[in-house]
Amino acid sequence: MNLLLTASGLRNETLREALRDMLGKPFDSANIVFVPTASLAQPGDHGWFVSDLVRLHGLGWREFDVLELNGLPRQMVLDRLLHADVIYAEGGNHYHLARSITGNGLARGFSQALRERVYVGVSAGSMIFSRNLTAHSADVIGDTADLHALGATDVEPPFGLFDWYLKPHLYSPDFPERDDAWADRIAARADFPVYFIDDETAVRVRDDTVDVVSEGRWRLHS
């Protein structure tokens, strides 16, 4: 399993090089599938989405697919995930992304794709792997409004791979409240490990090995 869990995508050369290493071949020899699902539940201006899409496309892939997880036949979704060398899940509302996987019966097939492909998450796309993706963690982290926005009071983790939780955009100018004091408040309440990462950082998972790749700053509350 190869996961590169970023806050804001492949924003710097260190993160891009980490992906090249995990992929084992140049980008122009690889197929990528871009999954926008989480972004569709996020209201407001989507300039950030367009910027990330353009930046990613500009890396020069052999084939650049775009795949929405809702509304298509299940097997079509799974076939297109497996056709790609890289699965890239964009940011937005991670509860919507998780429910789109579990509600459409994609979890088992998606898990197979994760074993055979490289996965890059952006923000919400990076937050769906914890077994602590629950209503309790939503309350601890301060994301309950994002869950309730979907008309839901609970969420089922689609994968449950790790006990740790990832919270992105530490020190981000787009989220000015996410400073050390904000992280300290969450850490004081959390009864599970939390990685806080900034927009220049990723948590990298290679089979059973977890480390951090960064040109920025990050914290681990354990």
Compute the average pLDDT of residues 187-212: 97
Residue ranges in the chain assigned as alpha helix (H):
13-23, 37-40, 47-57, 74-83, 94-103, 107-116, 135-141, 144-148, 180-189
Q: Residue type for 105, please?
A: G
How far is it, in rounded angstroms, from Cα 59 to Cα 166?
26
What is the domain partition of the chain in residue ranges?
2-221
Angle ∠(146,167,178) on CA atoms, nearest 5: 85
Is 149 a residue whose pLDDT tops 90? no
pLDDT in tens, 56-102: 999 999 999 999 999 999 999 999 999 999 999 999 999 999 999 99
Mean pLDDT of 17-37: 98
**Rg of the chain taking only CA atoms, in angstroms:** 16
Q: Dihedrals φ, ψ of 195, to 5°? A: -90, 125
- The CA distance from 34 to 24, in Å, is 19
CA distance 116 to 2: 8
5 φ/ψ angles, rounded to the nearest 5 degrees:
-100, 100
Architecture of domain 2-221: 3-Layer(aba) Sandwich (3.40)
- pLDDT for residue 68: 98
Q: Are strands 201-206 and 209-214 parallel, antiparallel or unpaired?
A: antiparallel
pLDDT at 201: 98
Q: What percent of the chain has pLDDT over 90?
A: 93
Bridge-based pairing state of the strands 194-197 and 218-221: antiparallel
